[in-house]
């Protein structure tokens, strides 16, 4: 497997520092599990952060710090039950994704369906699996904010090149693209999206209200 498209160093650094929304975090994590190059970068950044912590002057904790932490642990809600557990390797999904609640399949457009990934409230991004039939041609579109994509299975192509398993793609308001799914097999992607799709053209404006991702 040759991975040609990677997140920026800024995204990888924020991932290592725990500064991404959870939806964005799991997309970068999916890429990193398949990409040795990006794993090395993340590990190096984590070592750098560890050295910075070791060099920092210690700060005394408040006298009631332990009691407050234990109170918060006691008040925490139990993790939600997984409504339909995923088998490791199902549709090319990473094993760790089976720890999340995955919603039911919902048709988005001809040849395209999605499954939402249930995440704790509070993040600005949402995560979902996007499944497309071989040869599917998407409508040309842009985004109001960021869309992070990691290919888990199959492939798609657009003006930015071909994207296969492990490849990362970033879409935002500056990008107009029209992905076309490869003919060899269905394409399964893990997506984190903030904002909305903006479909180009008159037809796009008509059907845009009915496409919910």
Written as tens digits, the pLDDT of the chain (213 aa) is 689 999 999 999 999 999 999 999 999 999 999 999 999 999 999 887 666 556 667 778 888 888 888 888 777 655 544 444 444 345 556 777 777 888 899 998 889 999 999 987 778 899 999 999 999 998 778 888 899 999 999 999 999 999 999 999 998 888 888 899 999 999 999 999 998 877 766 455 555 555 666
Q: How far apart are the first and last CA of the chain?
A: 29
- Lookup: tokens for 212: 């919910």
- Distant-in-sequence, close-in-space partners of 39: CB < 8 Å, separation ≥ 6: 32, 33
* CA separation, residue 179 to residues 3, 132, 168, 182 (Å): 18, 11, 14, 9
Q: Which domain holds residue 177?
A: 1-213
Q: What is the Rg, in whole angstroms, of the alpha carbon atoms belonging to the chain?
A: 19
Surface-to-core class of residue 102, CB atoms within 10 Å of its CB (0-12 exposed, 13-18 middle, 19+ buried): buried
For the chain, the domain total comes to: 1
Closest CA to 27 of 198, 174, 166: 166
pTM, rounded to two decimals: 0.79
What does the DSSP 8-state code read for residue 5? -
| CATH code (residue 65) | 2.60.120.10
């Amino acid at each position: 497997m040759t991975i040609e498209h990677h997140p920026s160093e800024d995204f990888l650094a924020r991932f290592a520092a725990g500064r991404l929304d959870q939806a964005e975090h799991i997309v970068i994590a999916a890429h990193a599990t398949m990409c040795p190059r990006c794993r090395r970068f993340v590990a190096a950044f984590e070592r750098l952060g560890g050295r910075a912590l070791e060099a920092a002057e210690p700060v005394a904790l408040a006298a009631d710090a332990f009691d407050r932490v234990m109170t918060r642990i006691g008040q925490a809600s139990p993790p939600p039950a997984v409504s339909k557990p995923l088998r490791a390797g199902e549709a090319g999904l990473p094993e760790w994704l089976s720890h999340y609640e995955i919603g039911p399949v919902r048709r988005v457009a001809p040849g395209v369906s999605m499954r939402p990934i249930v995440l704790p409230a509070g993040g600005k991004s949402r995560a979902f699996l996007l499944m497309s039939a071989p040869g599917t041609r998407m409508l040309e579109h842009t985004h109001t904010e960021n869309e992070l994509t990691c290919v888990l299975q199959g492939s798609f192509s657009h003006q930015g090149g071909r994207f296969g398993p492990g490849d990362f793609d970033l879409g935002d308001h500056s990008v107009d693209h029209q992905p076309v799914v490869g003919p060899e097999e269905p394409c399964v992607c893990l997506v984190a999206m903030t904002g909305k799709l903006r479909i180009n053209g008159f037809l796009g404006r008509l059907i845009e209200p009915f496409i919910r991702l």
